[in-house]
Structure 1
Amino acid sequence: VEDRADDLLKEEQQQNPPKVYRQSVTYAREHGELQQYHASCHLNERCRDEIDAALAQRFDGLRLGAGAVEQVVTEYGLERTKYVLAAAIQTRDGDGRISRTNREWADSIRTIKDMDRRGFDRSCYYADLQAHTCLLDGFVNQVRKFEKAKAQPAQNTPER
């Protein structure tokens, strides 16, 4: 019974993943939302690690195999996946290996600048993907295609 309850809870979390917290730690502290802030940052870091794992598992040396995007989105949701990828691209400012369209896509996603007292941006913790920039660029292409396919209404086949 406990295993089934755990399975049901996991299914519910996959269908409704927690929202990305889009405020700074200062805002969270002032508004009593530190728990949500820390939980979101933790999930962002886990999402980053899952992206790296998916790329390592599914890249054969020449191409990125199918299923990498689904592996991450199933666990962390499309919103968080896009958020972490956008932050990763934004921290690689000036890297010419990221396509112009993917850079524009990343810039269209609002990420937070969460500066600490020393002027260090805390977002670098979850934006620091280990994957090579070209592999990251290819993965973002797949995420964008995945999102576009999900946005299109399902076509019903006509009955005979």
Structure 2
Amino acid sequence: MRVQLVEGDITAQDVDAIVNAANSSLLGGGGVDGAIHRAGGPEILAACRALRESRYADGLPAGDAVATTAGRLSARWVIHTVGPVWSAHDDRSATLRSCYTRSIAIADEIGAETVAFPLVSSGAYGWPFDDAVRQALTALRGAETEVAEARLVLFGREAYAVAERVL
């Protein structure tokens, strides 16, 4: 799988699947989650509600992933994953890497060849940006998959420059 860094808006990526840094409720929120729900329209929320009513009554656990329609986005699917909240006392990096590897596994299940990822847990969940990039790249580079291309989409020139330095 080719892994590349891209500066831009994840909702505008021309890929088969977009990964959403969701909260465990799967019912929308702020940041990337809110942007994906707004751009994708009510179809995504309806699919997430159906998942909550069937398989994930208690919410999606951190480190796991699940796919829904992408609604009005140009992608075919949205893969929702829940990142861990940063802790200076507990090492949750395996859970963060699992967000990427589980999302890639779901991409394989649905037949996606191209996937765009946000930098999971680096926003409201407080994960230090440099380490979030390291964890993402480690997980993606180590994944066994049929996915041809994974994009790590960074919002803004500053974020992209930091990620390039880490790369």
Bigger share in strand: 2
> Higher RCO, 1 or 2 (CA under 8 Å, sep at least 6)?
2
Normalising by structure 2, we get a TM-score of: 0.30
Structure having the higher helix fraction is 1
